Chains A and B, each alone.
Chain A
Amino acid sequence: MKIKLKDIAHGRSGDKGDAANVGIIAYDDNGWEVIKKYLTADRVKKHFEGICEGKVERFELPNIRALNFMLHNTLGGGGTVSLKYDAQGKTLAAALLRMEIEI
């Protein structure tokens, strides 16, 4: 069965230097089990091919059913140096919600 991440989670993203952080929050406990199991650092790295040029770190916040990803080397040198339109990675949470997960 294919699940759209957008249907089970929401989130917010922003900048930390040249890294972007993408926080993803499941709407309920079932959704949390799905993202905890399937939303791995490797999958996220692959999803952001061409955007994230560095490593992806993954952290769990089970207390709010959330995962936090640090996407290193992603913002074209960081907020003020970057030539990117989305220099602060503000739209990357929405970009991650495009993912479809086969469960």
Chain B
Amino acid sequence: MKEKIRIASGQGFWGDLIDAPYHQVTKGDIDYLVMDYLAEVTMSILQKQKNRNPEFGYARDIPALMERILPICKKKNIKIITNGGGVNPEGCANAVLKVAAELGLNDLKVAVVVGDNIKDDIDEIINSGAQLKNMETGEPISGIKDKILSANVYFGAFPIVEALERGADIVITGRTTDTGLTLAPMIYEFGWDKNNYDLMAAGTVAGHILECGGQASGGNFLGDWQSVDNLAEIGFPIAEAYPNGEVIITKHENTGGKVSFETVAEQLVYEIGDPKDYITPDCIADFTSIKLEEIGENRVKVFGVKGNPETEFYKVSASHSDGYSAFGTLTYTWPQALTKAKAAGEIFTKRLENLGLEFEEVRVEYIGYDACHGKLASQLDEDQINEITLRLGVRSKEAAPVERFGKELAPLILTGPPSVTGFAGGRPKASEVVAYWPALIPKKLVHPQVKILSLS
């Protein structure tokens, strides 16, 4: 058994720093590169892409990235784990194998984890008694069944563990929990027992810290953010894991950013609910048990983590079409920038009313004043305000009123308050609103499958 393994976060979402994974495999030693590509919105986008072209439906940055890093990973024996397979892990694996062939890496073994995509099985699942009720509203899924764009089950670490046991160099999954990507190599390397829930929780917590990339190593840090050095060359976080479940969060030397008690603590509280009840397919982690200790420069030890047995359910994330929305902005300058923007907002909403357009919601916001903090925003002396951006948004079940909204914006420049600019992007277009449907499904109704693909 290895004395320790180093697991590096290479991507916090699809669209994160393109070069981050390259730096992770080149600027120091690591054993695993884990990359989270999937936000909830990503699955529906990928499903739409696959509907247009059955070969698509995965994070299409991956083949180009592999071209850069595969030779290095092969040489340094770094394994890659990613959920960037989206709704087409096999398509992604085939694209990666094509790159491998071009690079002469003919013995590369790529594993895919599939079985998470239940979009075409909803009727069958409902017939077997699961209603897939919306966890927020309690409504059964049958009501939106015909509008479903994507539906995926979140699998945990164990399908990835199986892939590693079967010799995979790269594991490409569909919807796997972000935390499972990091927990899996620990289970595999250290032979952890799946019933040792403290260890499952320790790896899960490490995964939570890594899953948003630079957010654990000084990015988006609300503490003393100016104390973070060289964000331009931020080093993404690395989890140095030990067989006893202790993990040291760190980053490569000679990179920017910062790993401290504060930067790690901020990531721990990110997007959590009840901290005693952090539920994953692998365990329930108790975030109130986590101990953090700074043990060196850019080294924070995470230990003492307690866990409880997993539940009988997987989480499902379905998305469905739910109308249309559009947004537009105009910027008003001194003098009386805010008063002008407010007057423009009133003129605009009156015009929409006069047109008799039906919207679910019309929203008028003043960027530079109170768009983010509402009533908490400080009152400003108007003479001190240089410019205010008026932001208008509408949402409707129908596309037509939203399209018409887009046509009303530019005329405000010549028919509204003065000293206004910022209309260079053309008419705002109506875009489809994708709503989320979080639900639970009994684990016995779905089964992850692992397949190994290779060139030979």
Contact = CB atoms under 8 A, between A and B. Distances in A.
**Residue of B220, B262, B265 most packed against chain A (CB within 10 A):** B265
Interface stretch (B108-116, B119-127, B194-202, B369-377): B369-377
A68 B365 contact: no
Contacts of B436: 17, 78-80
B312 interface: no
Contact of B266 (A10, A16, A50): A10
Nearest to B292: A64
B371 A85 contact: yes
Given A81-B435, A85-B391, A51 B374 contact: yes
Contacts of A66: 265, 268-269
Contact of B394 (A47, A65, A83): A83
A68 B376 contact: no
Interface stretch (B67-75, B77-85, B283-291): B283-291
A91 B373 contact: yes
B349 to A, nearest CB: 13
A95 B373 contact: yes
Nearest to A96: B376
Contacts of B375: 49-51
Contacts of B422: none
B272 interface: yes
Contacts of B394: 83
B274 interface: yes
B40 interface: yes
A57 B438 CA distance: 20
Contacts of A4: none
A65 B271 CA distance: 17
A68 B435 CA distance: 26
Interface string A6-30: 0000111011111001011101000
A43 to B, nearest CB: 13
A85 B261 CA distance: 31
Contact of A81 (B272, B365, B395): B395
Contacts of A23: 266, 268-270, 272
A38 B373 CA distance: 21
A25 B288 contact: no
A18 B435 CA distance: 11
A17 B161 CA distance: 30
Interface string B286-310: 0111111000000000000000000
B325 interface: yes
Interface in B347-395: 361, 363, 365, 367, 371-376, 391, 393-395
A47 B33 CA distance: 42
B373 A21 contact: no
Interface string A67-91: 0101000001111110111100001
Interface of B: 40-41, 136, 215, 220-224, 261-262, 265-276, 287-292, 322, 325, 327, 361, 363, 365, 367, 371-376, 391, 393-395, 433-436, 438
26 contacts: A11-B266, A12-B266, A18-B136, A23-B268, A23-B269, A27-B262, A50-B375, A57-B274, A59-B274, A60-B275, A61-B275, A61-B290, A62-B288, A63-B288, A63-B291, A63-B292, A64-B261, A64-B292, A66-B268, A77-B435, A81-B325, A85-B372, A95-B372, A95-B373, A95-B376, A97-B222
Given A51-B373, A79-B41, A85-B367, 4 more contacts: A17-B438, A25-B265, A61-B290, A85-B391
